[in-house]
Chains A and B, each alone.
Chain A
Amino acid sequence: DGGITQSPKYLFRKEGQNVTLSCEQNLNHDAMYWYRQDPGQGLRLIYYSQIVNDFQKGDIAEGYSVSREKKESFPLTVTSAQKNPTAFYLCASSITIYHSGANVLTFGAGSRLTVL
């Protein structure tokens, strides 16, 4: 089955540690995204990538970093510079970054990060 796999599902981190969240897709989508979801708030875009070896900051990129070395993979690193990292992180992909017809976002199941 085609889809997006995020891991780990749950992750605990001590303050001052960097952590990396994995996102893999087998949909052959060019565009990939990372969103943050907090209770009572809409999804907020952290980073997105239109194509391999290219990525752009979203609305809340501070304290995060990404890479896009392979089309299938778009890992997110939550660095110690992120002041409030406890959240639910969602990875998504789409055929391209420009929607037309059925070019909708497909989401992974999410990763819950808790800072102890």
Chain B
Amino acid sequence: GESVGLHLPTLSVQEGDNSIINCAYSNSASDYFIWYKQESGKGPQFIIDIRSNMDKRQGQRVTVLLNKTVKHLSLQIAATQPGDSAVYFCAEGYGGATNKLIFGTGTLLAVQP
């Protein structure tokens, strides 16, 4: 597989547990945030996004929380499954332009059976 997981923080969880992946963003003016999942050898897949006028958004088994005061974003995955094993990274954007997205380095989620 690809080496994108090297040098990344790792979160190891048991199958069935809830996972919380954190991301600190840099620009206080950022108004749009995205979480991506990248499996080994594949391109990133969109998971969920949130705008700065919201604190929380829920999807299927995932919840994103945004704390603008401390510039912190988290992704919660409920009932983690082996298929959730991947690198997860956040992206921040401002001004509405996709070419201005700033991507984080990511966290490797390892789900133990």
Contact = CB atoms under 8 A, between A and B. Distances in A.
A110 B8 contact: no
Interface string B67-96: 000000000000000000000010101001
A99 B44 contact: no
A34 to B, nearest CB: 11
A40 to B, nearest CB: 3
A42 interface: yes
B107 to A, nearest CB: 12
A39 B99 contact: no
B104 to A, nearest CB: 5
How big is chain A's contact interface, by range?
20 to 34
Given A42-B104, A42-B105, A109-B41, A103 B7 contact: no
B3 interface: yes
Interface of B: 2-8, 32, 34, 41-46, 49, 89, 91, 93, 96-99, 101-106
20 contacts: A6-B43, A31-B98, A33-B98, A37-B4, A40-B6, A40-B105, A43-B91, A43-B103, A44-B103, A48-B98, A48-B99, A58-B99, A90-B43, A96-B98, A98-B97, A104-B46, A104-B49, A105-B98, A109-B42, A110-B42
Interface of A: 4, 6, 31, 33, 35, 37, 39-45, 48, 56, 58, 88, 90, 92, 94, 96-100, 103-110, 112
